[in-house]
Amino acid sequence: MQAENSARDRNSRVLGLDVGSRRIGIAISDPLGITAQGLETLQRRNKKLDFGKLGELIRQYQVAEIVVGYPLRMSGAEGTQSAKMQDFAEELRKRFRLPVHLWDERLTSAEANRLLRESEVSLHRRGLAVDRMAAILILQSWMESRHVPPDVSDPA
């Protein structure tokens, strides 16, 4: 069996980020890379403090990879926010020397709001939780895409 260089093989964790101008939603994988759990949303202050907090989380959870939500237009085209996330991802790579993956985040905030509405979370609490839920959805989707079993031909 060929050895893979992934967080899942080393029982390390993957950090998921939903980056906005005011807040960063944060999620962390379990050590096997199967489920994503939300962490406290980071209220953005300035680059030094924001990256300092992310560095603390990376050390605390022994993060081996980072997934950043990649905002695309509904058509799939890149926009100005896409360029900002490319720059943010590159800065993460340089600062922490970890693989950073950009992952299509279209509709994650809408899905997060829908899930929170269905769970009858109050409007005030929903506003505080939506970034975390979006980060969970981004990370969970990325992890599931990596665990897709190979196609098995139908014996019939």
In a domain, residue 154? The reply is no
> What CATH number corresponds to the domain at position 140?
3.30.420.140
Considering only CA atoms, give the Rg of the chain.
16
Quickly count: other Cβ atoms within 10 Å of residue 85's Cβ. Answer: 20
In a domain, residue 20? The reply is yes
- φ, ψ dihedrals at 73, nearest 5°: -70, 165
Angle 105-109-114 from CA coordinates, rounded to 5°: 130
- Position 2 scores a pLDDT of 35
Quickly count: other Cβ atoms within 10 Å of residue 13's Cβ. Answer: 25
This model's pTM is above 0.75? yes
Domain carrying residue 141? 9-146
- Position 40 scores a pLDDT of 93
Q: List, for residues 98-156, the tens digit of each pLDDT value.
A: 999 999 987 676 777 677 777 766 666 666 688 899 999 999 999 998 876 555 554 54
AA identity, residue 138: I
Is the model more confident about 57 or about 115?
A: 57
In a domain, residue 52? The reply is yes
Q: Is 117 helix (H, G, I), strand (E, B) or coil?
A: helix
Matching residue, tokens 């922490």: 96
pLDDT at 35 over 80: yes
Count of domains observed in the chain: 1
pLDDT at 4 over 50: no
CA distance 25 to 19: 6
In a domain, residue 4? The reply is no
